[in-house]
Structure 1
Amino acid sequence: METGGHILTDYNTALKSFKNKTVNIGCLAQQNLERSLQGLFERNPDLCNNVIAEDEDVDQLEIEIDEDGMMLMSKYRPFASDLRIVVASMKITNNIERISDHAVSIAKRSRKLIRNSELSEVGLIEPLFLQSNKMLTDALASYADGNGELAMSVIQADASVNTLHKKATKQLTKCLEGETGKHKDYLHLVFISRWLERVGDLSVNIAEDVIFMTTATDIRHGGELPEEITANN
């Protein structure tokens, strides 16, 4: 997304670096999410361990982005679209860090699951993961490209994640109610399903901030969509 020229070259450089860091933290968090599920599906504890170990990189980058954002606002005092980029990016970074935290939680549960015999019900998790991960991919792309329409598609996709989550939870609850010695394993899957649903919610949060960043419209809590987006949806 073009931010316009600035009389201070170092400001433009700092703003570009700030946006690049936000994109990078998104890539790291998504990598952690994908590896946490890959560890479950492939029964690979090393992938789960890598997710847990690499979460610290996400935490450190979040701190750097917050510090850079405060520096940009205090030193250069950006206004209009540039200020929205800074504010939205800091909020988006917080949501991304929470996604990485969920990936760590999934990795820990996955690591416990794969110590035991394989469960066919793990298959309930895959479509939920694919949909929530696609929402995250599109949310991050909408930020990188400043694409409000793509951000809107993320918000619209949230209903499908909710449906998949309810379906998985319903079937896993039936398993928990039955006579089986695998109650802990089924409970692990219930938590994983919930965290993937939360990834979808956090992707929606990112998309809402992208719409604010690109259109100066706050659509949270039932706010109206800007005309340039509603005209194409």
Structure 2
Amino acid sequence: MDNLNLNKHISGQFNMELKHIRTQVMDMGRIVEQQLTDSIMAMHNQDSKLANHVINNDEKVNMMEVEIDEACVRIIAKRQPTASDLRLIIAIIKTISELERIGDVAEKISRTALEDFDQQHLVMLVRLESLGHHTVQMLHDVLDAFAYMELKKAIKIYREDKKIDEEYENIIRQLMSYMMEKPGCIPSVLTALLCARAIERIGDRCQNICEIIFYFIKGKDFRHLGGDRLYELLLRNK
């Protein structure tokens, strides 16, 4: 975020506080990304040790959200920032909330590794691995876009969610067919369905972070627009 065109401040302490908070956000993002990566691996390999590591580490993510949020509130109270500085702080508060929720999803995915899957049912988890890796990449990319507030990159990432949705729908159809063919596997299928839904929601969270980037750059709230209208508004007078 060092390349952002932020206001120059008389107070060097203000600049240091902003820089420190931006660094904390990226640190939190890296931890959440690793949490998500580990949870997908734990699910696929039915690795209970790695799953428990992710579950236990979720508290660290929660505490980082609280710490960053409190630091942002202190800056608003003490410095009374305006214009792009205030938008940045609001963007940070919203982003860490999304990251914390992604961390919760990683914990939920990890708990799948603690379920009692028969060997014949593990094929269902293989179908979720590709979806999981796709969302990990989307999270990685959106964190990069947030670091430098890159509009074009954020727009490209925003569109990636459509591919995740399509992949998710294909998995749902496959799992439903599997359940009808083998009624005895219904409990395992239901677990896989819940896990697939949790992974799909990560794409939505990444879209939300894209909208936060749009807000910071454009100074407007683009939530709930979507589609071609959103892209037209974003690219106009960029």
Give TM class, smaller chain.
over 0.9
Further displaced range: 47-56 or 218-227: 218-227
What's 1:230 paired with? 235
Question: What TM-score, normalized by structure 2, do the two folds share?
Answer: 0.91
* Corresponding position: 1:43 with 2:56: no
Question: For structure 1, which segment, 200-209 or 222-231, has the greater mean C-alpha deviation from structure 2 after superposition?
Answer: 222-231
State the Cα distance separating 1:182 from its structure 2 match.
2.4
Deviations 1:13-61 (A, max 9, x none): 0001111111111111111111011112223211101000000000000
Q: Give the 3-state SS of the residue equivalent to 2:187 in structure 1.
A: helix
Partner secondary structure for residue 218 of structure 1: coil
Structure 2 residue ranges without an equivalent (≥5): none
User: Is residue 2:89 matched to residue 1:86?
Assistant: yes
Match of 2:104 in 1: 101
**Cα 1:24/1:147, change in 2 over 3 Å:** same
In structure 2, the residue corresponding to 1:220 is in which secondary structure? coil
**Identical pairs, percent:** 28
Alignment match of 1:25 (pick from 20, 23, 28): 28
Unaligned runs of 5+ in 1: none
Following TM superposition, where does structure 1 have runs of at least 4 consecutive aligned residues deviating by more than 4 angstroms?
A: 223-229
Give runs of aligned pairs for residues 199-214 of structure 1, distance below 5 A. Answer: 199-214=202-217
Equivalent position of 1:52 in the other structure: 55
Q: Does 1:117 align with 2:119?
A: yes
* Structure 1 vs Structure 2 CA RMSD: 2.0
- Other structure's SS at 1:111 match: coil
Alpha-carbon spacing, 1:181–1:220, altered in 2? closer, same or farther (3 Å)? same
What's the CA shift for 1:113?
Answer: 4.7
Question: In the alignment, does 2:20 pair up with 1:2?
Answer: no
Say if 1:149 and 1:229, in contact at 8 Å, map to a contact too.
Answer: no
Judge conservation of contact 2:91–2:212 (CA < 8 Å) in 1: yes
Structure 2: how far apart are the matches of 1:44 and 1:64? 31
1:190 to 190, 193, 197: 193
- 2:142 aligns with 139
Tell me: CA distance 1:175–1:228, structure 2 relative to 1, closer, same or farther (3 Å): closer
How many residue pairs were aligned?
Answer: 232
Alignment deviations for residues 100-128 of structure 1 (CA, whole Å, 9 cap, x no partner):
001101101222155x3252222211221
Residues 144-185 of structure 1 deviation map (CA, whole Å, 9 limit, x = unaligned): 111111111111111101000100011111122233432222
CA–CA distance in structure 1, aligned partners of residues 26 and 87 of structure 2: 16
After TM superposition, the score normalised by the length of structure 1 is: 0.93
Read off the aligned partner of 1:84 and give its amino acid letter: R
Q: What is the distance in 2 between the residues matched to 1:2 and 1:19?
A: 14
Q: Is the 8 A contact 1:129 1:196 kept in 2?
A: yes
Q: Does the C-alpha gap of structure 1 residues 176 and 226 become closer, same or farther in structure 2, counting only changes over 3 Å?
A: closer
